[in-house]
């Protein structure tokens, strides 16, 4: 699918990777770019159309889909993360539920609301923003990793179902991004703009998965090995 001429809806588009997706789509000739966010008040980026959406709320998602019924490219970028002491923490269940509400069920809600529109508009594409922790979980990120692994599983099933409707589904896996949310982390980070460039190039070449950085590519390359990296991952600190 080509970004040029498409009508794009990006969730979590007020900052970071979501904003980079929205701006790049406009620069690449998208016909229209909807910038979805929970609170669009004060958002003023030339060329982007702010739309209120809370992916944890069914009616909010349905209302956004009704308003943006000409969408041909849905980018599920909205997501949340949290650190924890360890996988056996007392808050593991509640934190997992909290993260799943956005990172998994948010994808389900937007897919249910928007993908029929893509099909009726002649086909299109869905980009789901996932993570390298899909395959590499550590105790301090156990709840977050579980939500992203579940989102990967959903994405794979969605891809199979939507092929018959001429809708392409692409999964983005990426490690740390250089955004405000990670400014206090002393780790290698990818530029959001560079990641978006890779994703859009992958979309236009028909790819179904983009591994956006060297670390993510290495993690996936070990998955079938007897000593896969998830058995003994490098630990922070």
The order of strands in the sheet holding 73-76 is: 48-52, 32-37, 7-10, 73-76, 124-129, 167-173, 209-211
Residue 185's pLDDT is 63
Spell out the domains of the chain, with CATH numbers in brackets.
7-221 (3.40.50.720)
Strand ranges inside the chain, DSSP E: 7-10, 32-37, 48-52, 73-76, 124-129, 167-173, 209-211
Residue 184's pLDDT is 59
Residue 31's pLDDT is 98
Catalytic sites, residue numbers: 144, 148
Residue 180's pLDDT is 61
Residue 186's pLDDT is 63
Phi-psi region of 47 (alpha: psi -120 to 50; beta: other; left: phi over 0): left
Name residues of the chain where pLDDT drops below 70.
179-186, 236-237
Q: Residue 157 and residue 153: Cα distance in Å, rounded?
A: 6
Residue 181's pLDDT is 61
CA angle 86, 135, 20 (to 5 degrees): 100
Helix (H, G, I), strand (E, B) or coil at 33: strand
């Amino acid at each position: 699918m080509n970004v040029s001429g498409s009508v794009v809806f990006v969730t979590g588009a007020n900052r970071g990777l979501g904003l980079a997706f929205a701006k790049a789509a406009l620069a690449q000739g998208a016909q229209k770019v909807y910038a979805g966010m929970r609170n669009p008040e004060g958002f003023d980026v030339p060329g982007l159309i702010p739309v209120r959406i809370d992916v944890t709320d069914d009616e909010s998602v349905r209302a956004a889909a009704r308003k943006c019924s000409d969408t041909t490219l849905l980018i599920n970028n909205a997501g949340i993360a949290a650190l924890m002491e360890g996988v056996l923490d007392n808050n593991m269940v509640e934190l997992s539920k909290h993260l799943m509400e956005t990172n998994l069920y948010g994808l389900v809600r937007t897919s249910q609301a928007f993908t029929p529109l893509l099909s009726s508009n002649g086909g299109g594409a869905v980009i789901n923003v996932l993570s390298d922790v899909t395959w590499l979980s550590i105790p301090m990120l156990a709840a977050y990793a579980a939500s992203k692994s579940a989102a990967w599983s959903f994405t794979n099933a969605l891809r199979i179902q939507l092929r018959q409707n001429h809708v392409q589904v692409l999964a983005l896996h990426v490690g740390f991004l250089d955004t405000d949310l990670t400014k206090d982390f002393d780790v290698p980070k990818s530029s959001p703009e560079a990641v978006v460039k890779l994703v859009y190039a992958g979309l236009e070449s028909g790819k179904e998965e983009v591994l956006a950085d060297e670390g993510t590519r290495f993690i996936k390359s070990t998955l079938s090995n007897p000593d896969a990296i998830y058995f003994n991952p490098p630990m922070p600190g």
